[in-house]
Amino acid sequence: MSYKSFYSYIILIIFSFYFPKQLFSQNEAIQQTLENLTENNDINFDYSELIEELENLKSNPINLNSDQVDQLYRLFLLNENQLENLKTYIFENNQLLSVYELLLIDGFTRENIENLLPFIEVKPIEKHSLPKLTQLTKYGRHNLFIRYQRLLQTQKGFQDFEDDNTINSNYLGNANKYYIKYKYNYSRQFQWGFTGEKDAGELFLKKPKYLQSESETNFQKGFDFNSLHFYGQDLGIIKQIVLGDYHLLFGQGLTLWTGLSFGKSADIAQLKRFESFIKPNTSSNENSFLRGAAIHLGQKHWSTVLFYSKNKQDASSQLDEDGNEYVITLLNTGFHRTLLELSKKDKLSIRLFGGRLKYTWHSISLGFTAFNTHLSKDLISDNTPDNLFDFRGNNLTNYGLDYAFKWWKFHFYGEMALSSKGGKALISGINIPFNSRMKLALLYRNYERNYQNLFASAMAENSMVNNEKGFYAGTQILLSKKLRLQAYSDFFSFPWLKYKQDGPSYGVEYKAQLFYDYNQKIRMHLKFKYKQKEVNKPTETISEVNFLQNETKSGWQFQINYSLNERFELRNRIEISQFTDGNQAKSLGYMIFQDINYHSNNQQFASNTRFAIFNTDSFESAIYAYENDVLYAFSIPAYSGQGIRFYQLINYAISQNIKCWFRYSLSYYPNNESIASGMDEISGSLKSEIKLQLRIKI
């Protein structure tokens, strides 16, 4: 990189001081959780649901006297001890009269309450009645989001092809990505909306002449992905009802959980899950939701959920000897950019129906879930040893029993599950708040190798909830008024073979994070993470026997946040990672970034700026860092290789009802002649992207 280019970036950073900070800033605990999720998963999930829930909560605060307070826990705003103590206080003293009555409840401080104020309110519980049409039109709120996104460099897949022989080596559509979301809200009682998305490379309005007949049936004019929902809650005996696209979130996720979920976390207060029952789907994930109808009925201590779904799933298929088609792999990328990807779109139809019954009394809850899954084609995975216990066929039934109760200071919870093929799974945990300064969490999991479930999402090291045993122990200690420690250790094993592990294996993971709040303006943290697991030793020939060897990855992270004044905030982070394989070959990496955040006094202008330098020996030592993005979007790139990363996010409120966002990001790899590979390959050492978003609120 030339000195002239380098100085131009420095000047750009300096000028960023004159731009404002993003109005909506996500909780740092959520940012760190998303970084961990991305680092430990091969699939890129859409985490915008979580961001959207926080934004909705600011517009529609939760009444602490209602049964919606569990949502504060799910969004990292309350820990379990605070939530349980709040419920106990209301049970014993009736409804709260003021928000500041929380000071009388163990676990709450004035600082906690100030952080909660934008998201909560206190008022008497009123019986909800169906609003009139005039009320819906007068007091309803409309939100429209329009987003445009594009890489500025030309990827190989978008280059013009010369003849029909190169069609399969190119993307069918242009490089633009379009996104539109509309949502109507009437208080917290009614909601409906739709989402449309076209990824870069996918077709939009025009059908090419060369589209082959086998893929032509999968092409639809307009957005490649469309989602629609109608949702209502607090309608008397009807607690929730949804038509269209939705999620089900039950128990601890061992039997049925289709929405966003978090795994291991150093914040032990977020280990236990609190179910949402039914949630409308508002994300752009194309294969991880249900489509149909669900209703949640409840009164006093009893509630029940009935649901039906019939949705289509992307899949790879083959023909057997008799010419019958069967599915070998379920796909979740959501990309339909090439003829091959388009031919796999909606290949499989999945029908799901069942119900849930739950009993609650004070701090005791007991739930039972049962549902049936039917596939339109047989699912038959490759006949390899690691796939020996995978689900095969087209019909599967799952059952689950979950529980939670409190005894003295101990919070017990867990879930037991059974699949119709005989496989069983168990997860059981206990949270122990010894006092306000120290908490302990223990969690045991045992998922048998033949436990089969297409809709489970419990805490696991595996991507699938099977073939795993583990024990997690975490603690949270307030060392002083300004210093606190969060740490966990997780010991896991895989009794049967799995991908890249040709034998039973085990592993361990440690994480510790130290937080220091020097004062209200200066905060910092130090994090250490270590993970070791067994994988196959690389072999030169197929005939060689695969032996397992240890593979380790560790890293240190230090970050300091300091507010210069009410408008400026600076963030600095330095992170080091190290990856070691069985031959003791080391791969090192480091990353340093500087964030500059600014917002005007009237909150009309906002800006986020980052300048980062990174150098990693390989992708195994890559570092993941959360980046601020336009509202309802997220960015957690892998800082890999040697280079510089810069982004600028600007938010401007044109009026009270119209806001716009602009984001520019740039990655520069001075030693690269190309970036990425295959059809995503870019010639040169520069990769940049722009995002434009408009929000109209009525």
The string of pLDDT tens digits covering residues 76-102 is 778 777 888 888 888 888 888 888 888
Residue ranges, the chain, pLDDT below 50: 1-26, 42-44
Domain assignment present for 229: no
Q: Is residue 200 a part of any domain in this protein?
A: no
Beta strands in 387-423 (DSSP E): 393-407, 410-419
**Residues 654 and 680 reside in one and the same domain:** yes
Residue 520: inside a domain, yes or no?
no
Is position 674 within any domain?
Answer: yes
Would residue 240 count as lying in a domain?
no
Amino acid at 602: N
Task: For residues 13 and 117, state if they share a domain.
Answer: no
> Six-digit token pair at 556?
């240190």
Residue 64 and residue 2 share a domain = no
Beta strands 62-63 and 120-121, pairing class: parallel
3-state secondary structure of 396: strand
Question: 559 near 525, Cβ under 8 Å?
Answer: yes
What does the angle CA 485 – CA 487 – CA 488 come to, to the nearest 5 degrees?
165
Q: Are residues 693 and 596 in the same domain?
A: yes
Closest alpha carbon to 193 in 71, 281, 260: 281
Number of domains in the chain: 2
Distance CA 556, CA 551 (A): 18
Which of 125, 146, 164 corresponds to the end of one domain? 125
Domain match, 69 and 11 both: no
Co-location of 580 and 662 in the same domain: yes
Cα gap 508→198, rounded to integer Å = 40
Same domain, 16 and 36: no
pLDDT of residue 72: 82
Residue 364 belongs to some domain of the structure = no
- CA distances 307 to 171, 353, 354, 356, Å, are 38, 6, 6, 9
Note whether 38 and 52 are same-domain residues: yes
Same domain as 685, residue 638: yes
Residue 96 shares a structural domain with residue 67: yes
Q: Which of 60, 95, 125 is the last residue of a domain?
A: 125
Question: Do residues 609 and 686 share a domain?
Answer: yes
Residue 470, φ and ψ in degrees, nearest 5: -165, 155
**Does residue 104 form part of some domain?**
yes
Q: Which long-range contacts (CB under 8 A, 24 or more apart) does 524-529 make?
A: 524/558, 524/559, 524/560, 524/561, 525/557, 525/558, 525/559, 526/556, 526/557, 526/558, 527/266, 527/555, 527/556, 527/557, 527/558, 528/554, 528/555, 528/556, 528/557, 529/554, 529/555, 529/557
How large is the greatest C-alpha to C-alpha distance in the chain, in angstroms? 77
Domain boundary (103, 125, 147) is at 125
**Cα→Cα distances 246→229, 397, 487, Å:** 7, 20, 35
User: Residue 590: which domain range?
Assistant: 1-21+567-698
How many Å apart are CA 200 and CA 577, to the nearest integer? Answer: 32
Q: Are residues 4 and 77 in the same domain?
A: no
Burial of 476 (0-12, 13-18, 19+ CB in 10 A): buried
The answer to whether position 3 is within a domain reads yes
Whole-number Å distance between alpha carbons of 537 and 358: 48
What is the CA 28 to chain-centroid distance, rounded?
15
Residue 29: which H helix or E strand, with range? helix 28-40
Q: Give the pLDDT score at 37.
A: 58
- Tell me the pTM: 0.87
